[in-house]
Amino acid sequence: MSHKKLKAVLFDMDGVLFNSMPYHAEAWHQVMKAHGFTLSREEAYMHEGRTGAATINIVFRRELGREATPEEIKSIYQEKSDLFSSYTQAEPMPGAKELLQKVKGEGLIPVLVTGSGQLSLIEKLERHFPGIFKKELMVTAFDVKRGKPDPEPYLMGLKKSGVKADEAVVVENAPLGVEAGRRAGIFTIAVNTGPLNDSVLLDAGANLLFPSMQALCDAWDTVEH
């Protein structure tokens, strides 16, 4: 990355800014189990970034040989969302606030690009990272038709911030998110904050990989140059 060219940093939310993925994985596992399906917590990490409907359909096709109906998708996704919300609130990821402050302090534009439609979590952004994200510079589940690994969410992040692909970097923790960033033509930094092997993120196309947000924050000056 050339320092002069970099204008915006596109941040994924779950597993990057908040340590919320263990709760999402647990909720997916428990709700699917209650419906007689098998979805391990680790598999939930592999699907991270997909829309809820896409994840549900993968399980239905595999185990019932058919797509879920719109009603089934709606009710299962609601159950999953309710269970997630019932868990202890996810904490900010260590290092995230410090990195966001560096990014903002350097005059770069922080952009949020999440597949989440959890209103509570989006509100939490302002509470934990006050003054960092502008509402008009957020891409959420409500903005896009196709979830990650489709490049649409990141392309929309570029559009909203008015920067070109080679003027941005993506920060992602999930293989499908990395794939989405790369397919949008953006330099993509992976932070491995979950249980998957580094190779999964590198195979998805990560340009750089760090073991944590704190490690990325500490190395930020070298990443930019």
The contact set with Ca ion (CB under 5 A) reads: 12, 14-15, 173-174
Based on CB atoms, which residue is closest to Ca ion, 68 or 188?
188
Q: How far is the CB of 67 from Ca ion (least distance, A)?
A: 25
Q: Do residues 154 and 184 make contact, with C-beta atoms less than 8 angstroms apart?
A: yes
How far apart, in whole angstroms, are the C-alpha atoms of residue 217 and residue 202? 19
Closer of 155 and 180 to Ca ion (Cβ):
180
Q: What share of the chain is helix, strand, coil (3-state, %, to 5)?
A: 50, 10, 40
Residue 204's identity, in one-letter code, is: A
In whole angstroms, how close is the CB of 174 to Ca ion at the nearest point? Answer: 4
- DSSP-assigned letters across all residues of 109-147: EEEEE-----HHHHHHHHHHSTTT--GGGEE-TTT-SS-
Closer residue to Ca ion (CB): 12 or 224: 12
Q: Nearest to Ca ion by Cβ — which residue? A: 15
Cβ closest to Ca ion, residue 13 vs residue 76: 13
Least Å from the CB of residue 148 to Ca ion: 8
For residue 13, the minimal CB distance to Ca ion (Å) is 7
